[in-house]
Structure 1
Amino acid sequence: MLKYLFPVALLSFFTAQAQQSALPLVKTTSFRADTVRITKFGAVADGVTANTAAFQQAIEAATKAGGGVVLVPRGHWLTGPITMRSNVNLHLAPGALVQFSNRREDYQLIKTNWEGLDAVRNQPLIYGQNLENVAITGHGIFDGAGEAWQMVQKGRLTEAEWKRQVASGGVLNDKQDRWYPTAQSLKGTTVKEPGVLTPEKQRVEDFADLKDYLRPDFLVLDNCRRILLDGCTYQNSPAWTLHPMRSQDVIVRNVNVLNGPYTPNTDALDLESCKNGLVENSTFSVGDDAICIKSGRNEQGRQRAMPTENFIIRNCTVYRAHGGFVIGSEMSGGARNIYVSNLTFMGTDIGLRFKTTRGRGGVVENIFIDGVDMKDIGGEAILFDMYYMIKDPAPQVAGSKERPVSPAKPVDEGTPQFRGISMRNITCNGARTALLVRGLPEMSIKDISLENATLQADKGLVCIEADHIRLKNVTLLTRNTDPVMEVHNSRNITLDGIKYTPNAAVLLRVSGPEKAKDVRLLGTDVTKAKVGVEYGEKVKKSAVATK
């Protein structure tokens, strides 16, 4: 009888709440009270003395004693890379600044995984593999010395800043518009997929000539169980910042990740092929994506077959990033059962970002998002795109309202899927596009709903190659009203209770005669638009129902 008591939208919300409550409990860390100070092993807080050995000796002593807390007191501690151990909580006291070395020779090349592929990289600044019960906690700061590794674009600096950068050493590219720390760093840009292991290159030493290009992640915990990252600021990362990978029972809370706005590949948090976790009460401002869900790339990711699943992500703020909350593009192992709530994005390039491309494969499903507020978004407030990093094979001709035919390809194991994604209570003040859905001709984006949203943007809805898309109680306040909503090559589209800019030129345009059908415009006052529904060439009027 429940279906007669509540609207369908409320039913889906209650279903999501019930499913969330049924998620597996995240197993938490627990440590012995014993505390080991790094000063016991000769650490000196002068910002000059290398304390790498002292950090490592303290960690080894703690784990040998059965675990406990390794305390970093207030002070300025210079160190090289740190290797974590099971049953150890590395704890930064208030006022502790851990400065990682800017000497690239302090970091060794290792076999690892990068952007979803087996690869060789410089060892992470903080690293752990095959561990159980491991934590990094406290109130201090980790600084990753990212400037020792990163390329700098001339266009991002003032003339005076650029001159100082060039005078500091390093090398320039042929165009003289990009600065690299070393010739090796520049050489890496000329190699296809640098660092990726191949049948011809399987040894670490095979990549020695590219070492400076293969920037380390800040923190990698690989194949670990019961992880806690609580408190602390991680800043100035050489590459990805927080990267739990192939791990289970992951808790990230109260952290700050701060990287420069133009620093390449400095994702804040990458949850890659992780199972069961919680992310909450954290702040991110970075040069790439912020909160990222990943699971491997292409065939390797599909063979790994480890989706990121069973996560709650809530109460976080993103100031600068390419995307605020992101799934992909390395999602070949899939993603599912992820519950997102109470996020704020300010100044990100894209807000909610779902990205993939042909060849990835993988299924993204059962994603529930409730409560996201955005301001000053550079691109799309909400984006579902299956053409990531690929030019549209059939771009729209300038001045034409008709979209050219995009050829389909055979569906195979490399065909990605987005389906079963619910969003509600969303606001955006300023974006280029409110909602863009762009599937493949051979694989529509399916079962997407957006409810209770107010989106201010230049453009409203653009929906291409989609099936079963539902907007309910959505306000689209757009500058471009020709049209407010475009639906192309899509079917089973429900637009219910849509509000829009008064006196709009065209409220809804439907095109693509080969697929356009079952488009429903319900509970919407079409009289406030000069044209309520505009039909593309050869589209039958029966394709759209208004009520």
Structure 2
Amino acid sequence: MKNALLLAGLLAAATQAQAQALPAGMAALPRVKTPQFRPDTLSIVKYGAVADGLTKTTAIQQAIDAAAKAGGGVVLVPRGHWLTGPLEMRSNVNLHLAPGALVQFSAVHSDYHLIKTSWEGVAAVRNQALIYGQGLENVAVTGRGTFDGAGNTWRAVKKSKLTETQWKRLVDGGGVLNEKKDTWYPSASALKGSTIPEAFYLKPGQTTADFEPIRDFLRPDMLVLDGCKTILLEGCTFQNSPAWSLHPLLSQDITVRNVSVLNPEYGQNTDAIDLESCKNGIVEGCTFDVGDDGICIKSGRDEQGRKRGVPTENFIIRDTKVFHAHGGFVIGSEMSGGARNIYAYNLTFMGTDIGLRFKAARGRGGVVENIFINNVDMKDIVAQAIVFDLYYMAKDPVVLVGESAVPPVIKPEPLNEGTPQFRHISIKDVTCNGADVAVLLRGLPEMPLNDISIENAVIQSQKGLSCIEAENIRLKNVTILSKETTPVLEVQNSKNITFDGIKYTPGAALLMRVSGDRAKDVKLVNTDTKAAKKDLEIGDKVSKKTVTISKR
């Protein structure tokens, strides 16, 4: 076993040495450091663990502590069903799950304790993560086993997310309902927390004791590594998380490889991976199927995020599949510290609400730039295939029954430190078989989206493209086969927009509509306009000189 684990570590390091091979045209990134461990192996069985799924053990934590005290090594969790409370990682320790190992985290909430931490980029109090580490170096969680987070004992569930039979079974099993009887909570404590605005945010003078009455509302993440260096997460399955699943925070040199994250589609806030204010890393070969965003880049929220001022930067994300999720690849909306130098490619999204999702809002601030995405294939996307939205309203991306689908009116506001910016973003080689909206680009009147290109894309959708409050936007060799064609391309208050080599549904009622008194320099070139019944419609405040069409 010792030799096998050592060999696995060497192979991982060898693979990492080749990890910086990027598609042509992409600049090199700093080399990602990978952890190395002593070959010494400690089995949790030595510390009295019983694999019956009933006996709650402290053996895993004892073995982690013993390995750290001895200078590091591998903690082995053999095949079997192991029940444990929360775990704290230590430097120089690799927690390794053998094939068939199932680590079940306790459903007894008193086994967890409240800590001061960060939630969505703001100082908060939460239950400590199921797997937690702070200020560590050289740390790993590896193997081919499974962690189960008992998330069903923590999460609220909306009635609208379940079938009638599922809802009845849930309610009959215990818990409490809110006043409207449309949301189930696992306990009165969880329900109470839901009625308090910003319940988990830490206010001046508060202590963790102040949050005890709503403990059940303060769901823990599955894994948090806070302020750590040289991290490896490889091979394991993480399922049924109470909240976010994998959350490296203010950490650097992160490798996440061949990991699976599985959470219920209705599980609120169950993001697969949130890279928050992290530096230098690679995520590859993973499979995600969750109830919130899949691959998510964050860097803090609003004033606190800007004050922290730590961007997420220098990451490669590749060869990864995302099934159910609000977004497949996502930046924001907590991006106040910025994000840059992100390279994402060879991604597949199947059944996500949105494919490529960039979101922010006034008050966030921050700059998202130098993002390169290519080779993305999507199928059965519920809402937008590609969306950039600086007017993000923190709503479910899928319009539910009774909700308005009418876009909001955006009024200009003065520029300030809370104005977000998205710029210098390239998307190439994309296919999407089925979406409601092909592309939505929505900036702010005071801060348009800037310098975004989409090239070599084929998107089948219900609706076409909307470009609102944007500038220096380029679409080249893009096919939009939309069912609704009035129009295929909608441009509002945007300038320096180029559509080059656009293909669309033959017989479209209207190819392009341009409106807004700030619209300027809109070009449609190398495009067969004769396939549409009408090629152009312009608004009352738009000069004919605003639009140039080079007909073929």
Normalising by the smaller structure, the TM-score range is over 0.9
* Change in CA separation of 1:196 and 1:258 when aligned onto 2, cut-off 3 Å: same
Per the alignment, residue 362 of structure 2 pairs with 358
Q: In the alignment, is residue 463 of structure 1 matched against residue 467 of structure 2? A: yes
3-state secondary structure, aligned to 1:412: coil
- Aligned counterpart for 1:177 among listed residues 146, 165, 182: 182
Q: Which amino acid in the other structure matches residue 234 of structure 2?
A: D
- Aligned counterpart for 2:86 among listed residues 77, 81, 87: 81
* Change in CA separation of 1:206 and 1:383 when aligned onto 2, cut-off 3 Å: same
3-state secondary structure, aligned to 1:411: coil
3-state secondary structure, aligned to 1:534: strand
- Deviation string 1:89-121 (CA, Å, 9 cap, x unpaired) is 000000000000001111000111111101000
Paired residues of 1:240 and 1:270 also in contact (CA < 8 A): yes
Per the alignment, residue 257 of structure 1 pairs with 261
Residue 444 of structure 1, CA deviation: 0.1
Per the alignment, residue 348 of structure 2 pairs with 344
Quote the Cα distance in structure 1 between the aligned partners of 2:180 and 2:257: 43
Q: In the alignment, is residue 188 of structure 1 matched against residue 190 of structure 2? A: no
Quote the Cα distance in structure 2 between the aligned partners of 1:221 and 1:17: 33
- Deviation string 1:169-228 (CA, Å, 9 cap, x unpaired) is 21111111221111110011111111111124x201011111000000000000000000
- Deviation string 1:431-461 (CA, Å, 9 cap, x unpaired) is 1110000000100000000000000011111
Residue 273 of structure 1, CA deviation: 0.3
Per the alignment, residue 241 of structure 1 pairs with 245
RMSD: 1.5
3-state secondary structure, aligned to 1:530: coil
Which segment drifts farther, 403-412 or 425-434? 403-412
Quote the Cα distance in structure 1 between the aligned partners of 2:454 and 2:331: 17
Quote the Cα distance in structure 1 between the aligned partners of 2:161 and 2:25: 48
- Aligned counterpart for 1:324 among listed residues 321, 328, 334: 328
Q: In the alignment, is residue 41 of structure 1 matched against residue 47 of structure 2? A: yes
- Deviation string 1:447-492 (CA, Å, 9 cap, x unpaired) is 0000000000111110000000000000010001100000000000
Q: In the alignment, is residue 139 of structure 1 matched against residue 144 of structure 2? A: yes
Q: In the alignment, is residue 307 of structure 1 matched against residue 311 of structure 2? A: yes
Paired residues of 1:506 and 1:531 also in contact (CA < 8 A): yes
Per the alignment, residue 283 of structure 2 pairs with 279
Q: Which amino acid in the other structure matches residue 237 of structure 1?
A: S
Which segment drifts farther, 336-345 or 171-180? 171-180
3-state secondary structure, aligned to 1:300: helix
3-state secondary structure, aligned to 2:533: strand
Quote the Cα distance in structure 1 between the aligned partners of 2:546 and 2:157: 52
Quote the Cα distance in structure 2 between the aligned partners of 1:405 and 1:183: 39
Paired residues of 1:298 and 1:414 also in contact (CA < 8 A): yes
Per the alignment, residue 367 of structure 1 pairs with 371
TM-score for the superposition, normalised by structure 1: 0.93
Residue 386 of structure 1, CA deviation: 1.0
Per the alignment, residue 224 of structure 1 pairs with 228
Residue 530 of structure 1, CA deviation: 1.0
Gapped regions of structure 2 (runs ≥ 5): 1-20, 396-405
Residue 308 of structure 1, CA deviation: 0.2
Quote the Cα distance in structure 1 between the aligned partners of 2:22 and 2:258: 29
* Change in CA separation of 1:289 and 1:114 when aligned onto 2, cut-off 3 Å: same
Paired residues of 1:239 and 1:267 also in contact (CA < 8 A): yes
Q: Which amino acid in the other structure matches residue 495 of structure 1?
A: F
Q: In the alignment, is residue 168 of structure 1 matched against residue 173 of structure 2? A: yes
Residue 153 of structure 1, CA deviation: 2.2
Per the alignment, residue 480 of structure 1 pairs with 484
Q: In the alignment, is residue 28 of structure 1 matched against residue 34 of structure 2? A: yes
Q: In the alignment, is residue 120 of structure 1 matched against residue 120 of structure 2? A: no
Quote the Cα distance in structure 2 between the aligned partners of 1:171 and 1:452: 51
- Deviation string 1:132-154 (CA, Å, 9 cap, x unpaired) is 00000000000000011011222
Per the alignment, residue 419 of structure 1 pairs with 423
Q: How does 1:77-116 map to 2 (within 5 A)?
A: 77-116=82-121
* Change in CA separation of 1:167 and 1:419 when aligned onto 2, cut-off 3 Å: same
* Change in CA separation of 1:453 and 1:94 when aligned onto 2, cut-off 3 Å: same
Quote the Cα distance in structure 1 between the aligned partners of 2:415 and 2:165: 53
3-state secondary structure, aligned to 2:71: coil
Residue 315 of structure 1, CA deviation: 0.2
Q: Which amino acid in the other structure matches residue 457 of structure 1?
A: S
3-state secondary structure, aligned to 1:523: strand
* Change in CA separation of 1:246 and 1:403 when aligned onto 2, cut-off 3 Å: closer
* Change in CA separation of 1:179 and 1:339 when aligned onto 2, cut-off 3 Å: same
Quote the Cα distance in structure 2 between the aligned partners of 1:195 and 1:251: 30
Quote the Cα distance in structure 1 between the aligned partners of 2:424 and 2:331: 14
Gapped regions of structure 1 (runs ≥ 5): 1-13, 392-401
Per the alignment, residue 4 of structure 1 pairs with none
- Deviation string 1:374-421 (CA, Å, 9 cap, x unpaired) is 000000000000111269xxxxxxxxxx99973210100000000000
Q: In the alignment, is residue 537 of structure 1 matched against residue 540 of structure 2? A: yes
Q: In the alignment, is residue 267 of structure 1 matched against residue 271 of structure 2? A: yes
- Aligned counterpart for 2:59 among listed residues 39, 54, 59: 54
- Aligned counterpart for 2:210 among listed residues 206, 209, 214: 206
Question: How many corresponding residue pairs?
Answer: 520
Residue 164 of structure 1, CA deviation: 2.8
Paired residues of 1:16 and 1:368 also in contact (CA < 8 A): no
